[in-house]
Amino acid sequence: MKIEEAQTEQVIKEKAKELFFKKGLIKTTTQEIADAAGVNRALIHYYFRSREHMLSILLDEAMEEKRERVKSILSFDLPFREKIARYIDAIITYNMTYPYLENFIISETVRNKDRTEAYCARNQSRSSDLIRDQLAEEIQQGRLAPITPEHFLVNLIALCNYPMLAKPILRTIHGMTEEAYHEFLLERKQVIYMTIFNEEMPSVS
Amino acid sequence: MKIEEAQTEQVIKEKAKELFFKKGLIKTTTQEIADAAGVNRALIHYYFRSREHMLSILLDEAMEEKRERVKSILSFDLPFREKIARYIDAIITYNMTYPYLENFIISETVRNKDRTEAYCARNQSRSSDLIRDQLAEEIQQGRLAPITPEHFLVNLIALCNYPMLAKPILRTIHGMTEEAYHEFLLERKQVIYMTIFNEEMPSVS
DNA sequence: GCTTGCGTTAACAAAAATGTTAAACAAAAA
DNA sequence: TTTTTGTTTAACATTTTTGTTAACGCAAGC
């Protein structure tokens, strides 16, 4: 039977994203995706040509979405520390809605160098350029220990993303439940700010 | 022809580790491993039963080795900051000899929860317990902003490991050559210490 | 020299996944 | 009603990879 009005493509995409990026079932087969979407497997090829091609599309969309939400924050006209506080918040919040997206991005960029190129090509402005001036000023005013924008950003992203990437290990090592780990991740917003700036994060009013 | 004296098993292991952990070819097939080792593919099954089983063994060995090198440092009787400085150095150095080991560990622990359990079970003493007292003292003496041992360690490991995990992306974004990235990683030893303690790392004498 | 057993190989079998096709179907247009 | 067009399905084909087996060879011990 025909599923209402050409929504099939969307349903497939959403279910696939759910399996890949939310549940972390990175090896999910086309058959499993089809099952989750309640459609015949051939439709995946009908709409997306191949599994590989579908992956490209899903990743592009997800990365684009994350980039929009997160990176634009660095372009806002805001005091440096507030900007960074928002950046941390945005990354962690986004990570929590797609807990395995970073895992996926990383394993795909390791596996497929071309995809890395494509992804980065679309990233016109380097994040490091967006903070360069403000960071320099912070340092010059003696409010922050000297650090290059590249290291500063890697620090920031590492502190935000790693706990998602290594979630299975960290949860197990520290014997945390899913909820406890959720809490832990939320705490990290303050912890990260503190670690970076060595001062309390101003509470959100 | 018979390859000299039962070394075959070792050769296979080493070549497999090279492909998986050094070159990051995570999807390498048994055939490719056999080729790299210069042996018939059936030997892989002869020695390791299945691909899956071989993976277990390789990962166990690699993780065990890393754990020994790195984690024991936290047990040494040393001043806190020196201990941490050595820890950073050990992790980064080890990461550079097996650039893709962390990628592998993470994707395997996401894919296979049982392996996570097994891995963590062997980790008798939690790292967080090894630093708890000294960390508390640092904080109590006002030399460090309050932080739980769990967050402190996650910070530390995140800062050390993430740049390896995301190497393809980071290198491309910042347009670094392999050598430049190598330098970048070495610089991070100081950067991380600085970020954690907010003071220069004492130079190694 | 014969046997025994491990290491090795090629050839085969099976499994798991992707990709293709022709035909059925449903809805809108003619 | 018939045609047409885009969607969906089942059945088939192909590819890729893993796993198995039977036989061969070599070296040690009898």
Each residue of B1-43: pLDDT tens digit?
Answer: 444 445 899 999 999 999 999 999 999 999 999 999 999 999 9
Q: Mark residue B39 as left, alpha or beta (left: phi above 0; alpha: psi -120 to 50; beta: remaining).
A: beta
Q: Is the pLDDT of residue A1 over 50?
A: no
In the predicted model, what is the mean pLDDT of chain A?
A: 92
Q: Is the pLDDT of residue A20 over 70?
A: yes
CA-based nearest residue to B105, from B16, B45, B26: B26
CA-based nearest residue to B202, from B84, B71, B66: B84
Enumerate the residues of chain A whose CB falls inside 8 A of the CB of residue B126: 173-174
Interchain proximity B154–A163, CB inside 8 Å: yes
> What's this model's pTM, rounded to 2 decimal places?
0.93
User: Do the Cβ atoms of A11 and A19 come closer than 8 Å?
Assistant: no
DSSP for residue B23: S
Cα of B187 to nearest chain A Cα, Å: 9
User: Do the Cβ atoms of B82 and B89 come closer than 8 Å?
Assistant: no
Interchain proximity A151–B187, CB inside 8 Å: yes
User: Do the Cβ atoms of A201 and B142 come closer than 8 Å?
Assistant: no
pLDDT of residue B204: 58
Residues of chain A numbered 137-196 and touching chain B (CB < 8 Å):
145, 147, 150-151, 154-155, 157-159, 161-163, 165-166, 168-170, 172-174, 184, 187-188, 191-192, 194-196
Using CA atoms, how far apart are residues B39 and B41, in angstroms rounded to an integer?
Answer: 6
pLDDT of residue B24: 95
- Compute the average pLDDT of residues A157-176: 95
CB within 7 A of strand C (chain B, 185-204): none
DSSP for residue A73: G
Whole-angstrom CA distances from B176 to A37, A199, B12 are 42, 32, 33
Using CA atoms, how far apart are residues B200 and A49, in angstroms rounded to an integer?
Answer: 55
- Confidence category of residue A3, pLDDT binned at 50, 70, 90: very low
Name the residue with tokens 């497929």.
Answer: A112
Residue B204 backbone dihedrals phi, psi, to 5 degrees: -70, 125
Interchain proximity A106–B174, CB inside 8 Å: no
Q: Is the pLDDT of residue B156 over 50?
A: yes
Cβ-based neighbours of A57, under 8 Å, separated by 6 or more: A13, A48
pLDDT of residue B26: 93
Please write the tens of the pLDDT for every residue from B135-155.
999 999 999 999 999 999 999
Quickly list DSSP for B91-119. Answer: HHHHHHHSTTHHHHHHHHHHH-HHHHHHH
Please write the tens of the pLDDT for every residue from A61-116.
998 899 888 888 999 999 999 999 999 999 999 999 999 999 999 999 999 888 88
